[in-house]
Structure 1
Amino acid sequence: MAFRTLHEDWTLSAVEGPVPDAVLGISIPATVPGCVHTDLLAAGVIAPPFDGDNEAEQQWIGSTAWRYETRFDWHDDGSHRHDLVAHGLDTVATIELNGSLVGRTENQHRSHRFDVRPLLIDGENTLAITFASPVAEAEARSAAHGPRPHANHHPYNALRKTASNFGWDWGIDVATSGIWKAIGLDSWSGVRIASVRPLVDLSHRADGVDGRLDARVALEWADGSAEAGWEVSASAAGVSATQHVEPGTSEIRLQLDVPDVPLWWPIGHGDQPLHDVDVQVAHSSAPVAHWSSRIGFRSVHVDTAPDADGSPFVLRVNGEVIQVRGANWIPDHAFLTEIDADRYRRRVRDASEANMNLLRVWGGGIYESDDFYAACDEAGILVWQDFLFACAAYAEEEWLAVEVEAEVREAITRLSPHPSLVIWNGNNENIWGYHDWGWQERLEGRTWGLGYYLSLLPGLVAELDPSRFYSPASPYSFDEALHPNDDAHGTMHIWDVWNTVDYSVYRHYRPRFVSEFGFQGPPAWSTLVDVVHDEPLEPYGAQMLVHQKANDGNLKLERGMQGHLPEPRSIEEWHWATQLNQAAAVRFGIEHFRSLSPRNTGAIVWQLNDNWPVVSWAAVDFAEHRKPLWYTLRDVYEPRLATFQPRDEGLALIVLNDSDDPWNGDIRLQRTLFDGTVLAEASASASVPARGESTVAIPTELAAFGDSSREILTARLGGFATAIHNPVEILDQALDPDPLVAEIGEADAETGAATVVVTARSYARDITLLVDRFDIGARVDRGMVTLLAGERAVFRVTTGSGLDRSGLLAADVLRHANSLHRGRSVLDDQVG
């Protein structure tokens, strides 16, 4: 058996559409896997799509049909079958071999296999794949089958293609075409392993845990394979099993019991042991076909049974409750073939180093590469995987349903080995949309997807992967009689904050589990100005607005700062203030949600990453710079967190301990002036169980601020970051605009990194080094650091050699919230 990739010597040409004269009739080299946009860019035919307003100038690409063609030599090796295998075609494609039709495809999210033995010729063969215009196809299918509601401007819901590829409120509209995954010839005889689903379970004993591997092996047989003597074997974790099979058997089950198996745990709960699984088909003891992967032994359960407060959403792994601290994940590049294994690992590292334990793969994206899930397996990052339905109504008739079922079967099967994957979710916001977004009137009785979410998808999960939990939607209340976005039931999304109201409104909610919420902020300065060239640079410049996809996004940024921060007076202040406010809003929300534990069992912020340079909700921008939000997430997602929160009885300190060890200790409470002068103090003690929480009431006299503009309340407790309560917003605080003494320290002895040492003369909020303004390749180990008077912090900066590192102390690099007051008469009036 042999698989031969066909990735060489492809050419690309436009077939029909609004093609510029310069592109008509030409053929350019094509990269496979790849897409039309990246090929055009490599050939110098188009300018960089992300730059300036090139998005608008290049809309013709998605409205054009494209033809890929290659030639290859083939000689018969005696195999019974020669299959053309396309692991991913984007999207409506016609495949021809030597001028004869091989087949047609219309789903980006699945693979295709065609027996092409009758069409192959000895010697040179010509393979051609013609892709219909994705924009024209989506519009034509929508018109033919009846338009259905959807977000944004293209009817992406009429095509099984990445929804966000047509643009989103954070994403560029680059409707791609191309051979986006491997393609080749699979030559084989006898039998091949079509798929393996290595499902795991646990059996608990009084003195240990045993693992069970239930390997479901699907087989495909070549014509004429009637001889006896076939056997299938599986091995994992030092255990093996073998079963004889008769020719034509389509599926078998091999069960392996592994005694005293080491369990796979999410990060922060234990280790992540992974075991190789090998499946082999042999004939008369001679190996014929082989499959391998890795698994981890663990159990998954989600409790949604009604309780006294509504309906919870409690995720348990190996029987242990997991307090979810997560982020939503979108495709990490607008051109999917530009994402490699290393980039996936860097993003997963961004998650784990921010104290996250779960990533939700959002339904407007893709089923990611196995490289993504493998990185999560190794890091202990749990994965919640949406099926690919987002913010739209979807037809349930056969023309689309047949593709949906094939796609879902393949996705469940392919991803089944990964222990990190714990939740399958039916859709993003579609049931909510049907209830609240005026869909019912617009649909006029047409199907909209409910049959997928309540019948087809759960049925396929139960059939193919009963080891994992299925949720019909996000948000969802787990009772069809309830509103799908009820904070007392199941999962909820909170989007009135950001869209219409102040972020203080987060406190109006008491959610059981928040699977989407977030706030916008711009990317790093260097990421922004690399693609935005307005003169002068300002928030409402033409190119700036190209890179702000949210409806009235910059107006919402302005509204979101009101009452919290001084109004920015320059583009540099706007950039820093909006980044700062993004972090403040999300901190406010997460501290509130976590303080509701155990009622609240998780928060998944929107979003971890970007797919191009853009003003967005991301914590890590497209150029891989960690925004101030990322540093804030690392702080508020610390397993041990102390936070001041209002309660009916007054101000309280909520002490959260998401670790295996109980905490007992003393708490030092102080009300001070910004210069450190102690105005009042008290002591308290707390006992917090492992994976538990405790509430400490704050004495009334301690919280009785005399001058709210100059005072703060702090709580110090061993093993926790100092908790700080600001009675008023930065806007109303009499902060010293120049509170720091800063110097370049000795280079770090281990890493050689530059060090910046800052000491606070007065209370200094959210100290951050925007190091990309010094060196675009620089990285810093910490940010959003708040210091009390007299405290000191060291920042370690990895940067290029030969640079004058004193530039790290420049005012546009060394930032803090206090600096927004610099030169303002209102502060002078307060101080005076």
Structure 2
Amino acid sequence: MKNQLAGKAAFFKVSIVSFVIALIAFQSTDANAQTKYELNEGWKCAPIGSVKQSGTELSTPAVSTQAWLPAVVPGTVLTTLIADKKVPDPFFGMNNQKIPDIYKTGRDYYTYWFVKDFTEAQPKTGDQVYLNFRGVNYSCDVFLNGHKLTNKPHTGMFLRQSYNITKWIAKNGSNRVAVIVYPPDVVGNPNGGQGGDGTIARNVGIQYTAGWDWIQPIRDRNTGIWDKVTIEKTGGVRIKDPHIITLVPGVRQSDGPQQPAIIKVSATLENATGQPITGELRYNLDGNAVSKKVTLKANSSLDVQLNDLSLKNPKLWWPNGYGQQHLYPMHLQFVTGANKISDQHDIKVGVRQITTEWNTKTESRQININGQKIFIKGGNWIVSDELLRFSDMRYDAEVRFHHDMNLNLIRVWGGALIERPEFYEACDKYGMLVFQDMWGSGDCNGRWTDPMKLDDQWTRRKYPDDHGLYLRSIEDQVKLIRNYPSLAIWCGGNEITPPEDILVALRDTIMPKLDNTRWLIPYSNSEEMSRNVMGGNGDGPYGIQPLSTFWAHKTYPFNSEVGSVGVSDYESLKRFIPTQNMVLPEYDAATGKTKTDSVWDYHKYIGYDDFINKYGKPKNVQDFATKAQLVNYDQYRALMEGFSSHMWDWYTGTIIWKTQNPWTAMRGQMYDYYLDPNACLYGLHSGSEPLHIMYDPTDGMVMVANNTFKTHSNMLLVAKAYDMDGKERILSQVFSDVTPSTTKRYFSVKEEIAKLAKDKGAFLSLQLFDKDKKAITENIYWIADADGEYSGLQKMHQANLTASAKYLSNNKVEVTLTNASNGPLAFFNRLSLVDSETKQRVLPVFYSDNYVSVLPGEEKKVVIDYNSATDKNNLVISLGGWNVAEKTIQINK
């Protein structure tokens, strides 16, 4: 609550100029009638079996809840039990197995009452008070002050609820709400299949809760009041479901003067009183005032479309890497004839237009923003936390990591949920387009035959059981998030369409009416998105790959899922693996199988095969995790480089499976659950640069990928090789220029680098310099010897790397790394911001680069950005690399 109020205060501060301009047109108004706050503290809960009273009784102060458990709201039954230490942390070791599963206990075991006392005075005559639930899983009845608010149980995890409680507010201002929450109707058997036995998909809810190949089952299936509960106070008229559409005709540049854009605004107005009300629906945007006078009949609602605004010289919203993410503050108000604000919505408007077209060369669809084609570099997302413990801070940090990977899209996978508004706020801020799946997956919903599933394919193809609830929920969720500029694509489901009647309703009715400016594709690897002429499911490959695969193996032209490994470093592993389970995986080259410890297996480890052994057989888990980072970096850099090398030729985009985990899994993650980044993130950070120099390991070709709208000219391209002792050899240098949205090939260094690397391996340094001889970008590869081993790395001498650190601002540190000129390259150095007292890493922290290598005689600067309450006097920098001893660096004040 406190953070949100602070955010609103900042919002109004930024908007003061526009507000003053609006006053000229609108005069002064009384804003006291409109208030909204969360009920997010002080909840109590108890299992249904321990409660004898009815809901009407429980919702009165006469019933004591002193002996009840403190409840986490928003949250689930399981998050409450964890917080109250009634069950162990399911993210550590094998603890999840110690928690009773609802399939065995029965639904009543996780059916709970939730009660909250709150203070709210009776409103003035004509004013209204609403109780809002943004998400309850799966069904519930709601009671307030001895009155039942639900005529029948409210059902549906994703269907919002709103109750006008004006007449039920207590005279003395002391109120109590009581909610009984029932688990999903069908809980599913967590038998080890994708979504267990698949029957979890009979509900309109999350499918991963019964387990997947990257997650263990969630024991309560996320039962609870999982999203925000709010009290909303308005005047007699309430604004519902505003809709903002921005049209940006033509092909635009990311800077310079702009032709006008069109802003279209509409909303539903609801008069909850017994009297007609006349007033104005109005807004102000960038000093432009738009309004319409309307009269609402008693107890009625009215859809109102305001006149279009032609916004002159607009500041446009662009995806990450292509331009700025400007957001205009808009205050949408309904003001009565008495000049009183009855209701107000504060909306941040990103002015942009999304279109798509079929690329005949790639045989896939391409996405255009503001008329410019965008090469999609994306990551697949599940949820922020499998137990639905969402927060603005965590959303912001996770989306920022995707921004720092130089990605421009996040796909929200269909076995999870339609993401929360706070997620979209972060995506708007960081320029991440969103590919939003609806609820469904080929694994549960019948695309394939599957012996783990209870029902046959034809039966599963009809899931969920209640199609009407599904469609009502979709309509509601579309209204919830349609105003966010980052939302780019609606998708019917993961690797399968919803049932035909649902798909037809989405395509022909719901989307044309509610959100007709975005691309709707029937399923995630649809032929409408990417022509699949290679067979298979239309995505992949998965798992660890030879680097050449990403460059030379042509896959699907808009690939919705392609991925690799993702074990984090030793500090991360220690957070969830017991000491006795720190056991090295054993790879058997003869069988191609890996023997793993039970905890590693439970946390879904997938093998690195013999890729790690090429750096020398690991001595222990710490050594294994360190070498895994080299593989991680190489895998994800090559993945994005390989796709970029064929942009607009083979591909219009690719989306990594996957970039994050909602629990302590050991695969497919660029940072761990605790928000600690690993080398995958920085391999992507390099390989996804908007302007990037790179090397094709298949033919030795040096090339530059330009993912911007600008021509980059008069650059000097320098290719150099270094041996293990740091001896330099210039391979070639040439002046270059690269036109927008293209990849340009220059020359091959295959023969030279093969000769130099034959015995011990070598380093290849690629740099671009601007006309002022300043390095624009650099990329350093480590090349294996003739046997494919990194034999030279195993015998490297220590580098003489010095480091210093200083504060640039309150929460920003600059680290300078300098390597001596008479020694080897300082290879693969990890920087960490550490609390000097606890010796633990500060999390989350954002590094401008990490796992950095510094050439002999050169210097690199890394900027560290953090938002932490840790005392600055207790912060130090930890530094250690492949051939650089661990050291601690003090930060100069």
Same fold by TM-score greater than 0.5: yes
Cα pair 2:693 2:779 within 8 Å, conserved: yes
SS state of the match for residue 598, structure 1? coil
Match of 1:291 in 2: 345
Residues 16-95 of structure 1 aligned to structure 2 (within 5 Å): 16=49, 27-60=68-101, 64-71=110-117, 76-77=122-123, 78-79=125-126, 83-95=130-142
Match of 2:391 in 1: 340
Q: Describe the superposition over 1:521-542 as per-residue Cα deviations: whole angstroms up to 9, x where unpaired.
A: 2233233212221425214699
CA distance in structure 1 between the partners assigned to 2:42 and 2:686 by the alignment: 50
Mark the runs of 5 or more structure 1 residues left unpaired by the alignment: 18-24, 432-447, 817-832
Aligned-pair distance for 1:814? Answer: 5.1
Cα pair 1:656 1:693 within 8 Å, conserved: yes
CA distance in structure 1 between the partners assigned to 2:730 and 2:330 by the alignment: 63
Cα pair 2:328 2:348 within 8 Å, conserved: yes
Residues 166-245 of structure 1 aligned to structure 2 (within 5 Å): 166-174=210-218, 175-184=221-230, 186=232, 190-203=236-249, 208-222=258-272, 224-225=274-275, 227=276, 229-245=278-294
Match of 2:558 in 1: 513
Amino acid at match of 1:303: E
Match of 1:264 in 2: 317
The answer on 1:766 being equivalent to 2:825 is no
What is the aligned counterpart of 2:806 among 748, 764, 767? 748
Larger CA deviation: 412-421 vs 665-674: 665-674
Match of 1:133 in 2: 183
CA distance in structure 2 between the partners assigned to 1:205 and 1:715 by the alignment: 34
- Aligned residues with identical type, % of pairs: 19
Match of 1:825 in 2: none
Match of 1:456 in 2: 506
CA distance in structure 1 between the partners assigned to 2:126 and 2:666 by the alignment: 54
Match of 2:334 in 1: 281
Q: Describe the superposition over 1:119-167 as per-residue Cα deviations: whole angstroms up to 9, x where unpaired.
A: 7775666533222234x63339x9xxxx9x9544563312222333444
Match of 1:330 in 2: 382
Over 3 Å counting, the alpha-carbon distance change for 1:107 and 1:580 in structure 2 is farther
The answer on 1:359 being equivalent to 2:410 is yes
Cα pair 1:769 1:813 within 8 Å, conserved: no
Match of 2:654 in 1: 603
Over 3 Å counting, the alpha-carbon distance change for 1:727 and 1:185 in structure 2 is closer
CA distance in structure 2 between the partners assigned to 1:85 and 1:796 by the alignment: 43
Cα pair 1:609 1:621 within 8 Å, conserved: yes
Larger CA deviation: 638-647 vs 750-759: 750-759
The answer on 1:10 being equivalent to 2:62 is no
CA distance in structure 1 between the partners assigned to 2:871 and 2:515 by the alignment: 49
Cα pair 2:761 2:782 within 8 Å, conserved: no
SS state of the match for residue 328, structure 1? strand
SS state of the match for residue 783, structure 1? coil
Match of 1:369 in 2: 420
Cα pair 1:773 1:812 within 8 Å, conserved: no
Aligned-pair distance for 1:196? Answer: 0.3
SS state of the match for residue 93, structure 1? strand
What is the aligned counterpart of 1:427 among 482, 493, 507? 493
The answer on 1:570 being equivalent to 2:616 is no
SS state of the match for residue 466, structure 2? helix
Match of 1:785 in 2: 852
CA distance in structure 1 between the partners assigned to 2:728 and 2:132 by the alignment: 73
Over 3 Å counting, the alpha-carbon distance change for 1:759 and 1:590 in structure 2 is farther
Amino acid at match of 2:658: Q
Aligned-pair distance for 1:616? Answer: 2.2
Amino acid at match of 1:530: R
Cα pair 1:312 1:513 within 8 Å, conserved: yes
Amino acid at match of 2:94: D
Q: Describe the superposition over 1:561-620 as per-residue Cα deviations: whole angstroms up to 9, x where unpaired.
A: 278544323212222233332322222222111111222232322333332233121111
Cα pair 2:261 2:351 within 8 Å, conserved: yes
Amino acid at match of 1:776: Q
Match of 1:466 in 2: 516
Aligned-pair distance for 1:635? Answer: 0.9
Count of aligned positions: 772
Amino acid at match of 1:267: N
Amino acid at match of 2:136: L
CA distance in structure 2 between the partners assigned to 1:613 and 1:742 by the alignment: 36
Cα pair 2:204 2:464 within 8 Å, conserved: no
Calculate the aligned-residue CA RMSD, in Å.
4.0
Aligned-pair distance for 1:4? Answer: 6.7
Aligned-pair distance for 1:753? Answer: 6.4
Cα pair 1:674 1:789 within 8 Å, conserved: no
Over 3 Å counting, the alpha-carbon distance change for 1:303 and 1:537 in structure 2 is same
Residues 437-448 of structure 1 aligned to structure 2 (within 5 Å): none
Aligned-pair distance for 1:543? Answer: 11
CA distance in structure 2 between the partners assigned to 1:139 and 1:759 by the alignment: 61
Cα pair 1:773 1:813 within 8 Å, conserved: no
Larger CA deviation: 72-81 vs 636-645: 72-81
Over 3 Å counting, the alpha-carbon distance change for 1:74 and 1:323 in structure 2 is closer
Residues 473-512 of structure 1 aligned to structure 2 (within 5 Å): 473-478=523-528, 483=532, 492-498=538-544, 502=546, 504-506=548-550, 507-512=552-557
Aligned-pair distance for 1:549? Answer: 5.1
CA distance in structure 2 between the partners assigned to 1:700 and 1:504 by the alignment: 13
What is the aligned counterpart of 2:840 among 776, 787, 799? 776
Aligned-pair distance for 1:57? Answer: 1.0
Over 3 Å counting, the alpha-carbon distance change for 1:494 and 1:709 in structure 2 is farther
Cα pair 1:426 1:470 within 8 Å, conserved: yes
What is the aligned counterpart of 2:643 among 569, 593, 612? 593
Amino acid at match of 2:98: E
Cα pair 1:89 1:180 within 8 Å, conserved: yes
Cα pair 1:557 1:578 within 8 Å, conserved: no
SS state of the match for residue 377, structure 1? helix
What is the aligned counterpart of 2:354 among 295, 300, 315? 300
Task: Give TM-score scaled by structure 2 length.
Answer: 0.77
Aligned-pair distance for 1:319? Answer: 0.8
Mark the runs of 5 or more structure 2 residues left unpaired by the alignment: 1-32, 51-65, 446-459, 587-594, 770-775, 888-893
Cα pair 1:384 1:422 within 8 Å, conserved: yes
Match of 1:658 in 2: 707
Amino acid at match of 1:766: F
Amino acid at match of 2:850: G
Amino acid at match of 1:602: G
Aligned-pair distance for 1:111? Answer: 0.7
CA distance in structure 1 between the partners assigned to 2:222 and 2:883 by the alignment: 38
Match of 1:721 in 2: 778
SS state of the match for residue 633, structure 2? helix
Cα pair 1:279 1:292 within 8 Å, conserved: yes
Task: Give TM-score scaled by structure 1 length.
Answer: 0.82
Cα pair 2:798 2:883 within 8 Å, conserved: no
Cα pair 1:532 1:543 within 8 Å, conserved: no
Cα pair 1:192 1:219 within 8 Å, conserved: yes
Larger CA deviation: 284-293 vs 197-206: 197-206
Over 3 Å counting, the alpha-carbon distance change for 1:45 and 1:270 in structure 2 is same
Cα pair 1:497 1:505 within 8 Å, conserved: no
Match of 1:827 in 2: none
Amino acid at match of 1:414: L
Aligned-pair distance for 1:715? Answer: 4.2
CA distance in structure 1 between the partners assigned to 2:323 and 2:778 by the alignment: 23
Amino acid at match of 2:541: W
